[in-house]
Amino acid sequence: MSTKLTEHRTLTIERHFQAPLSRVFNAWAIAEQKRQWFACHEDWVPLEFRLDFRAGGSESSRVASTDGVVHAYQARYIDVVENERIIYAFDMMLDDVRISVSLATVTFTPEPASTKMSFVEQVVFLDGYGDNGSRLMGTEIGFDRLRLYIEGDETRPN
């Protein structure tokens, strides 16, 4: 019998965007916008992306890394309050192996001439998966791409 292990961590990331709140929120809510930034490695090959952004909706993404490993993300939206918060649960898989399960909360706060976004992920790494900080690093890279997307094109509608 194999031993099943769990390791719990909480990741907290805060970002300030020089953009209106609606632009930041819509980058999460509109499939064509989220597809533009939701990846942490530009050289990975996109295989699938679907987004049904609403409470009770779902999201899935599959990409292949340069070594051929398929990274799969499957989420279910629990609570969505437009321009205020998003709460969702998701799991991550490498090929056919589930490596983690998470609950994430994203909140949005208007500030003078900017928007504050707070992200908290409560993650359970499964069965000895050795993350070594790569989840935090990948999420921060994703949010750096979000910043470039949001702040890079002032002509994009909110």
Mean pLDDT of the 118-131 span: 89
Q: Is residue 122 part of a domain?
A: yes
Beta strands at 70-81 and 6-17: parallel, antiparallel or unpaired: unpaired
Q: Is residue 118 part of a domain?
A: yes
Q: In angstroms, how far apart are the furthest CA atoms of the chain?
A: 58
CB 148 within 8 A of CB 37: yes
Domain membership of residue 11 as a residue range: 6-152
144: CATH: 3.30.530.20
Please give the Cα distance from 37 to 28 (Å, whole number).
Answer: 9
What was the pLDDT predicted at 156? 53
Query: Which pLDDT tens digit goes with each residue over 50-99?
Result: 999 999 999 999 999 999 999 999 999 999 999 999 999 999 999 989 99
* DSSP result, 53-79: -STT-EEEEEEE-TTSPEEEEEEEEEE
| Angle formed at CA 81 by CA 72 and CA 53, multiple of 5 degrees | 35
pLDDT at 26 over 90: yes
Query: How many separate domains does the chain show?
Result: 1
Q: Is residue 157 part of a domain?
A: no
What was the pLDDT predicted at 143? 93
What was the pLDDT predicted at 157? 53
Q: Is residue 139 part of a domain?
A: yes
What was the pLDDT predicted at 135? 82
pLDDT at 38 over 80: yes
Q: Is residue 1 part of a domain?
A: no
